Structure 1
Amino acid sequence: MRTLEWIYLIFNVVMLVWLIGGRNKPRNMVWGGLIISGVLLLVHGVIEGLRWPMIPAYLLTLVPLIVLFAKASTSTVVRKFGRVRIIGTSLLVLVYAAATIGLPLLFPVFSFDKPTGPYGIGTVSYDWTDESREELLTSTAGDKRELMVQIWYPTDKDTKGTTAPYVNDPKVYATAFNDVLKLPKLLFSSLSVVKTHAIQEASLSDAEAKYPVILFSHGLNGYENQNTFQVEQLVSRGYIVVGINHTYSSLVSVFPDGRVAQFESEGKEGFDQLQFSYMDKLNETWVKDAQFVLDEVEKLAANDPNGRFKGHMDLDNIGMFGHSFGGATTVQILMDDPRVKAGMNMDGVLFGEKRIPAEGVGKPFLMMSADTTVAGTSVMSDDEIAAMGTTRPEAEKYYKEVYARYEPLTAGGNYWMELRNTKHLSFSDLYLISPILEWSQGVDAKGAHHIVNDTTIDFFNHYLKGQSLQLDSEVGEHTSYSLKKG
């Protein structure tokens, strides 16, 4: 919850308890409570914005009015049933207070941890079209592959400006979460007021001549800023992060002119969507997306029309990380594009045209996995497997191929970290949206994020900035994770 929400909520709950605690409250104090509550509501509404989970709290502002204008009753019936009335009223107040406090907690305006590095954060978005590639997922003849790309970059700490929202089109995203991920819109009703730590179109800090560049590729059904928890920490440490929205494979793509590209499943659902023949082919499009974005980044570094990035991108030190299908894309890019020096895959099955050879990726690489992902069918019930649209023997056959592709991960001195008590989406922002999601999955979202961030910064600081590496000292079993090195 936000600061003014807490202040308003606590004041009104205390006032409610005081008002029902006995009769004959001084009218001037009741009027004072009404005025203070009204002012707090006005300030909260103007500065933070009103939202539906706070409606029960907003109605508390009317309670002093009810007290002021209610007629005192001293009838025999009231006296006779006074105790019953008091008990009933108290129970109703307790239930109402619980709802008043509970709803904002269950449907919060989530926030991201304060970035720990010395830099502020700026952000800018681009609409880039690859004129060399036909868009295969539309019926429009001559349609070219068009991508939305968001770039985050270091700014001076005291930079002022408009704070960037988490998403620019919250209603579109809420609908997409419902349509694609089958999550109720209600969970995403506060997206419109979620803010990040980034300043829109701020000036790049000149504290360093150049900053290493890191590409980010989201998961299938994901979106370019789905790992804001991680991106902001990286940027605050002096990196330029480039997030790719893989059109028609993302949750949704919204273009500057208002066009919306929805997720296109190509008729694949459940287990059919996971088949290697389909996913390996789809991954080729994502690899080409990443390579095209790298080409455009090189153009920005050479001659940014706005002057922001010209000469300030360290193209000799480019990294990449991705979640899920974006992690698989990262592995393919590491093996296919000499421009990328180091990469991380967060819980992604190794889909793609190329297999990792027995000697390993050949570049610095870190794999991060949820323990439930590595466990495969051993932690899946028959009902869960059936819900995927397959049988246990078919699922076990599928995971046999998954494990075979994983086998050379650490070869050549690379790393594999397995996080305990995590799920596939622990490597994204999703569980921050509501504690309902977190509790239902039995995970600690921020606990996992802290491990991911510490490891990510350590990894890229070493391989892109030449700083000392802590990972080697962490190899072995720990309470929250295990780490292997090849």
Structure 2
Amino acid sequence: MRNTLSPSILALSTVLAALSTVPAQAAVSVTAPSVTALPAPTGDHRVGKTDLHLIDTSRPDPWVAGRNARELMVSIWYPARKAGGRIAPYVTPQESELIIRGVPQLKDLPADTLAKTTTHAGADVAALKRKGGWPLVVLSPGMSLPRATMTSLAEEFASRGYLVAGIEHTYESVATTFPGGRTVTFEAGKAGQTPETGAKAAQVRAADTEFVLDQLARSKRWNRLIDEKRIAMVGHSVGGQSAAQLLPLSTRIKAAVNLDGTYYPSTPAKPLDKPFMMIGNPRHQPKSGGKDGSWDAFWPHVTGDWKRWLTVNGAEHTSFTDYAVLQPQLGLPKAPIDGERSIKITRAYVTAFLDLHLKGQRQPLLDGPSPRFPEVKMW
């Protein structure tokens, strides 16, 4: 199963196995290059990155009993003043080990393989200031997937003049490392994934997102770098459906994108009357024979003047994340569409959406089918 909440998303191994024509238990181990790499961003700005440890003392953790506060890790990508310094790591060594050891095919690879992945952001470099601040994009990853899996998008957005906040929804990721090295693992609905778990995750992520926005607004460092009147949210899988559920309820989020996320529930609390776009694999095309009917059920509740429904031929669930390029580099099964190509498509359409709705720049790419991207169908 690729994009619904089920036991198959409890670990990366089963997400990847969904892409394989060979049963996971029959697969042999693979070898991979010593260094994996993400595609470079294409915008005009250099990119910086820093990590924030935030604690919400107003609510207990919703997934683990006895924890009286909600702890979050948030990565901030931003236009940088200049190049130089240490390159920001992709994940921590602890996170890399838990991801790698969760994939039977990778059992012979060094545990820190993913920690060495080449990224393109300087760690904690000085931010480039802009009068009025940069538009803000909030990123929410798929269930069990670290926030790092949206790095290719985050670096692209930052290079094109956005400040980006990627939220790690604690206990909803296979591994989350806090300052000092303490690492926690996946707990959300561990006893069983159900539509109820999906609905709860959307509520939890809404609260996480509003808390992060509050903290950024109160921060002397980040408040001056953000244009609070121009905020969008982009999510993958559960993160995408959560963005859709939050959009009509939030007074701050002006637009949202769902990347291949199934809806739980399929009817939002309020109609979506703000700019909204959903991009998915062919299982999500209209009237897809019951393969995933949640998009058909959700679409009538998208009532705004601007909305788009796109599907990408050859795409799989992870084609909209970094795993599109990392899987082949690790010797793992890949989607029918080339990973570099699927990342290029996702970057192009989501950046066009952000430029249109947060910067007011006309985007012909979103007006109809494009010869540049014949894989994309617009409904």
- Which interval holds the TM-score relative to the shorter structure? 0.7 to 0.9
In the alignment, which residue of structure 1 is the partner of 2:90?
166
Instruction: In structure 1, list runs of 5 or more residues that go unmatched.
Output: 1-102, 379-395
1:146 and 2:71 matched: yes
Q: Does 1:337 align with 2:230?
A: no
1:483 — aligned with what?
Answer: 378
State the alpha-carbon separation in 2 of the partners of residues 338 and 278 from structure 1. Answer: 25
Shift of 1:186: 4.1
2:362 aligned to 465, 468, 482, which one? 468
1:433 counterpart = 2:326: yes
Going from structure 1 to structure 2, the CA distance change for 1:366 and 1:438 (only over 3 Å counts) comes to farther
1:139 deviates by 3.5
Cα shift at 1:170: 2.5
2:171: which partner in 1? 248
Deviations, residues 369-426 of structure 1 (Å, cap 9, x unaligned): 1114448986xxxxxxxxxxxxxxxxx5x94455323444476330011001000000
**1:259 and 2:182 aligned:** yes
When the two chains are superposed, the root-mean-square deviation of aligned CA atoms in Å is 2.7
- Which whole-Å CA distance do the structure 1 matches of 2:223 and 2:298 have between them? 40
SS in 1 for 2:71: strand
Q: Structure 1 residue 199 and structure 2 residue 122: aligned?
A: yes
Cα contact 1:176–1:262 (8 A) shared by 2: no
Is the counterpart of residue 448 in structure 1 residue 372 in structure 2? no
2:70 is aligned with 1:124: no
Question: Separation in 2 of the partners of 1:190 and 1:401?
Answer: 37
Other-structure match for 2:22: none
Distance (Å, rounded) in 1 between the aligned partners of 2:251 and 2:76 = 22
Q: What is the distance in 2 between the residues matched to 1:440 and 1:135?
A: 36
Q: What corresponds to 1:184 in structure 2? A: 106
Residues of 2 paired with 1:282 and 1:182: CA distance? 28
Partners of 2:130 and 2:205 lie apart in 1 by: 34
Q: How does 1:271-420 map to 2 (within 5 A)?
A: 273=193, 275-300=194-219, 303-304=220-221, 309-352=222-265, 355=268, 360-374=271-285, 399-401=292-294, 403-409=296-302, 412-420=305-313
Q: Does 1:133 align with 2:59?
A: yes
Amino acid corresponding to residue 482 of structure 1 in structure 2: K
Are the structure 2 counterparts of residues 377 and 311 from structure 1 closer, same or farther at C-alpha, using a change threshold of 3 Å? closer
Shift of 1:471: 3.5
| Structure-2 residue corresponding to 1:386 | none
Cα deviation for residue 261 of structure 1 reads 1.2
C-alpha displacement of 1:219: 0.5
Provide the identity percentage.
Answer: 27
**Superposed CA offset, 1:44-99 (max 9, x none):** xxxxxxxxxxxxxxxxxxxxxxxxxxxxxxxxxxxxxxxxxxxxxxxxxxxxxxxx
- Match in the other structure for 1:219: 142
1:468 to partner: Cα distance = 1.4
Contact 1:110 1:432 in 2 (8 A): no
SS of the counterpart of 1:128? Answer: strand
How far is the alpha carbon of 1:467 from its aligned partner?
1.1
Q: TM-score, normalised by structure 2?
A: 0.83
SS at match of 1:230: helix
Q: How many residues align?
A: 347
Distance in 1 between residues matched to 2:269 and 2:314, nearest whole Å: 28
Shift of 1:258: 1.9
In the alignment, is the contact (CA less than 8 A) between 1:328 and 1:349 conserved in 2? yes
Alpha-carbon distance in 2 for matches of 1:462, 1:182? 43
Q: How far off is 1:259 after superposition? A: 1.5
1:229 is displaced (CA, Å) by 1.1
Q: Is the 8 Å Cα contact of residues 427 and 449 (structure 1) preserved in structure 2?
A: yes
Query: Which structure carries more helix by proportion?
Result: 1
Question: In the aligned structure 1, how far is the partner of 2:341 from the partner of 2:147?
Answer: 22
1:424 and 2:317 aligned: yes
Shift of 1:134: 0.7
Unpaired segments of 5 or more residues in structure 2?
1-29
SS at match of 2:228: strand
- Code of the aligned partner of 2:46: G
Provide the C-alpha distance between the structure 1 equivalents of 2:301 and 2:146, rounded to a whole number of angstroms.
29
Distance in 2 between residues matched to 1:207 and 1:186, nearest whole Å: 47
- Following superposition, the deviation at residue 278 of structure 1 comes to 2.5
Name which structure has the greater RCO, CA cutoff 8 Å, separation 6+.
Answer: 2
Quote how far apart the aligned CAs of 1:189 are: 5.1
**Cα distance, 1:350 vs structure 2:** 1.7
In structure 1, what is the Cα distance between the partners aligned to 2:366 and 2:327? 35
Residue type of the alignment partner of 1:474: G
* 3-state secondary structure, aligned to 1:163: coil
Measure the CA separation in 2 of the matches of 1:413 and 1:172: 39
- The alpha-carbon deviation at position 240 of structure 1 amounts to 0.3
CA 1:328–1:206 in 2, change beyond 3 Å: closer, same or farther?
same
The amino acid of 1:111's aligned partner reads A
How has the CA–CA distance of structure 1 residues 406 and 207 changed in structure 2, closer, same or farther, with 3 Å as cutoff?
closer
Whole-angstrom CA distance in 1 between matches of 2:134 and 2:101:
38
Residues 195-220 of structure 1, C-alpha deviations (whole Å, 9 max, x = no match): 21111111111355511111000110
CA drift of 1:434 comes to: 3.6
Q: 1:116 to 1:429 in 2, by over 3 A?
A: same
